[in-house]
Amino acid sequence: MIQSMTGFGKATLQLATKKITVEVKSLNSKGLDLNVRMPSVYREMELGLRNQISQSLERGKVDFSLYIEVTGEETSTKVNAPIVKAYMSQMRAILADADETELMKMAVRMPDALKTERDEIDENEWKQILSVINEALANINNFRADEGASLEKEFQLRIANIRSYMEQALELDPERVQNIKNKLQTAIDELKVNVDENRFEQELIYYLEKLDITEEKVRLTNHLDYFIETLNGNEANGRKLGFITQEMGREINTMGSKSNHAGMQKLVVQMKDELEKIKEQVLNVL
């Protein structure tokens, strides 16, 4: 079953003093374009995390976000007491009658009055965060699979339509051939010259062989079958499907250039329209 490159996954975890939220979004892209946003305290884990995401999602323009919301009495920012006391002492010397509360308010606004201590990664906490990341990645892959199922139905419909239009075009082939014979015969009659019937038949056969679309029909049928076969494969196959649509386009274009029949050309245009819709959606396939 195919997967779409478009998807969204989210998972949350409530710890004792913080809430962990992981969001993963993806759109279509030729390769993996990964953007990771996470708190600086976990930056040393980013390389391993990128490898994990790339193995899980393979392709797409991916935005990964890890949010930390402190919900308990925990903070990494503390008052730098010695610095604050030093500031207050200096200000007392300048403002002898100043209120202590006002001195404190001014002191904590001064440079280095607050210090941020770098948190160390807790291994048990990181294991719990990894479980949330895995859950979010599983959710986005489920989303992609659901989108892929919808795309598969769309492809099946479009391929069936192309096959139907091709068969309708072939039903017009005897009429087309007869029209060509009549036009050639009329042109010769208007010239009012004697023509060797055997030579005329040979030239007519040669001309009709150049306009014959049997080979294009066979090749297009093979491409349609191969598209469905690839669609039902177990591997990521978006690129292969794209290559097959290019081959299908070549055969349809050749049929159009050879058709020389209004009804057949109309059907060729309809085949092209169906193929363009397939090409647009193939860009979203993983």
Bridging pattern class, strands 114-116 and 77-79: antiparallel
Beta partners for 70? 18
With a cut of 80, say whether residue 246 has pLDDT above it. yes
- The predicted model gives 106-126 an average pLDDT of 72
The two three-digit tokens of residue 201, written as one number = 């038949």
CB neighbourhood size of 34 (10 A): 17
With a cut of 80, say whether residue 223 has pLDDT above it. yes
> CA angle, 43 as apex, 37 and 46 as ends, to 5°?
75
Amino acid 224: pLDDT: 95
The two three-digit tokens of residue 276, written as one number = 């363009």
Amino acid 153: pLDDT: 94
Amino acid 276: pLDDT: 96
Place of tokens 């710890």: 15
Model confidence at 49, pLDDT cuts 50, 70, 90, reads very high
CA atoms of 32 and 50, how far apart (whole Å)? 11
- The predicted model gives 188-192 an average pLDDT of 63
User: What is the CATH number that goes with domain 7-74+121-143?
Assistant: 3.30.230
Amino acid 91: pLDDT: 82
- The predicted model gives 57-63 an average pLDDT of 92
| Domain boundaries, given as residue ranges, for the chain | 7-74+121-143, 77-116, 147-282
Contacts of 254 (CB under 8 A, 6+ apart): 213, 216
Place of tokens 């192309």: 162
Mean pLDDT comparison of 39-53, 76-90, 269-283, highest-scoring range: 269-283
With a cut of 80, say whether residue 116 has pLDDT above it. no
Amino acid 261: pLDDT: 81
- The predicted model gives 8-31 an average pLDDT of 90
Model confidence at 247, pLDDT cuts 50, 70, 90, reads very high
> CA angle, 153 as apex, 225 and 278 as ends, to 5°?
65
Percent of the chain with pLDDT over 90: 44
CA 140 to chain centre: 13
CA atoms of 48 and 40, how far apart (whole Å)? 15
With a cut of 60, say whether residue 36 has pLDDT above it. yes
- The predicted model gives 180-187 an average pLDDT of 69
With a cut of 60, say whether residue 19 has pLDDT above it. yes
With a cut of 70, say whether residue 24 has pLDDT above it. yes
CB neighbourhood size of 9 (10 A): 23
Q: Return the closest-CA partner of residue 271 out of 233, 221, 208, 212.
A: 221
With a cut of 80, say whether residue 188 has pLDDT above it. no
With a cut of 90, say whether residue 281 has pLDDT above it. yes
Model confidence at 195, pLDDT cuts 50, 70, 90, reads low
| Exposure string for 201-216, b = 16+ CB within 10 A, e = fewer | eeeeeeeeeeeebeeb
The two three-digit tokens of residue 37, written as one number = 């946003």
Helices 173-191 and 262-282 cross at an angle (nearest 10°) of 140
The two three-digit tokens of residue 38, written as one number = 């996470």
CB neighbourhood size of 127 (10 A): 9
Amino acid 98: pLDDT: 76
Hey, is 59 helix, strand or coil?
coil
Which of residues 101 and 28 earns the better pLDDT score?
28
